[in-house]
Amino acid sequence: MNISMIAKLAGVSTATVSRYLNQGYVSEEKKQRIREVIERTGYTPSSSAQTLRTGRNNLIGIIVPKISSESVAKMVDGITEVVAQSSYQVLLANTGNNTERELEYLKLFRNNNVDGVVFIGTLMSKKHLAIMRSYKKPIILLGQQEADVSSVYFHDHEAAVLATDCLIRCGCQNIAHLTVTLRDKAVGRERRSGFMETLQNNHLRIHESLVAECAGFRAEDGAVAMQKILDSGVPFDGVFCAADIIAFGAIDCLRRAGISVPEQVCVTSVDNCHMASLYSPRLTSVDLSHRTGGMEAGAILIDQIQNGTQAFSQVGMQCRLYERESTGAVAEQSEGFSVLS
């Protein structure tokens, strides 16, 4: 079933059907006939033919490091929500944290396939930036901020400030930090600098032994790092963790060591993942608006595709602190199980 069949059945030319389908320079009478035939036959134009002819694919590509990461899934959820309201569809490339594959998909998408790309980046190499800066198609970097690349980023530095500040307000004097690799600009560098800066602004000492780098993004990595700090023997009364999952590991480690949260040590982190409000103790954490960030990135991308504006835009998302039990706060009325309280 193709356009010429429809044309024949409706007694018009293929050009008229095509106009009907697109712009609409068609008399009311013929419109009726065409509409009727299309409904009766259930005809849908071939997207590959349309693409071949117009060069437009109606496809956007998303490159993610790991779809089974909660924050990544939230961002993708946001993107798909926005995209679903347009005529675009989403091509998903899940690289499994493999940097080489990221580059491959970046190239693959550029050469063919898609009208635009959302790239959820973690470790940005020179190669990544080179490709992105010379990309022929609209591309939005999501979750990281880099010069000369349109990006939707999260306020990692500010989030760390909020989380650290919260510890200080709780009376913590000796604050530890569980960080991640500095090669990750957002989670590593930005959050660490927010932490450092806040301590300095409050004239608190930064003890080297109280900063430990986690080997990865697993709870176990957080527990190992926490243990390392415990082993150092330097006393502390607060811990700022670079991510919730690390905080869970850290709290677990503290529990095993017989240290209670928040009575002896307060804990904060960043991400406000789903379990943060369910864990025991409920975790004080900073929400970065991952889902909204995804929506924003999707909207900007579609706008760039449709208006051909390659203008750089850098958008930072709001972040917000949720104070919970791990810093001694009581659960808010609005969240958790208010039904029961």
Partner DNA sequence: CTGTTAGCGCCTTCAA
Partner DNA sequence: TTGAAGGCGCTAACAG
Q: Are 266 and 327 in contact (CB under 8 A)?
A: yes
What does the alpha-carbon distance between residue 316 and residue 53 come to, in Å, rounded to a whole number?
38
Nearer to DNA among residue 10 and residue 241 (C-beta): 10
Contacting DNA within 7-46 (CB under 7 A): 11-16, 18-19, 21-22, 25-27, 29-30, 45-46
Binding partner at 3 among DNA, its own copies, none, C-beta below 5 to 8 Å by kind: DNA
Residue 288: strand, helix, or coil: coil
Q: Is 54 a binder of DNA (CB under 7 A)? A: yes
Tokens describing residue 48: 């590959």
Least CB distance from residue 104 to DNA, whole Å?
A: 19
Phi, psi of 286 (to 5 degrees): -105, 125
Q: What's the min distance (Å) between Cβ of 155 and its own copies?
A: 21
Residue type, 136: K
H/E element holding 84? helix 70-84
| Closest distance to DNA from the beta carbon of 56 (Å) | 8
Residue 169 C-beta: closest distance to its own copies, Å: 26
Sites of contact with its own copies (CB under 8 A): 42, 44, 46-49, 51-52, 57, 59, 62, 66-70, 73-74, 76-77, 80-81, 84, 89-94, 96, 101, 108, 111-113, 219-220, 223-224, 227, 248-249, 252-253, 255-256, 275, 278-280, 291, 336-337, 339-340
Is 89 a binding residue for DNA by CB under 7 A? The answer is no
Q: State the DSSP string of 181-235.
A: -TTBIIIIIIHHHHHHHHHHHTT----GGGEEE-SSSSHHHHHHHHHHHHHHT--
12 binds, among its own copies, DNA, none (CB under 5 to 8 A by kind): DNA
Q: What letters, b where the CB count within 10 A reaches 16 and e where it falls short, cover 135-145?
A: bebbbbbbbbb
CB of 195 vs its own copies, minimal distance in Å: 24
- Is the CB of residue 261 less than 8 Å from the CB of residue 252? no
CB of 6 to DNA, least distance (A): 7
3-class DSSP assignment, residue 280: coil
Q: Which is nearer to its own copies, 64 or 210 (CB)?
A: 64
What's the token pair of residue 155?
Answer: 């306020």
Tell me which residues touch DNA (CB under 7 A).
2-4, 11-16, 18-19, 21-22, 25-27, 29-30, 45-46, 49-50, 52-54
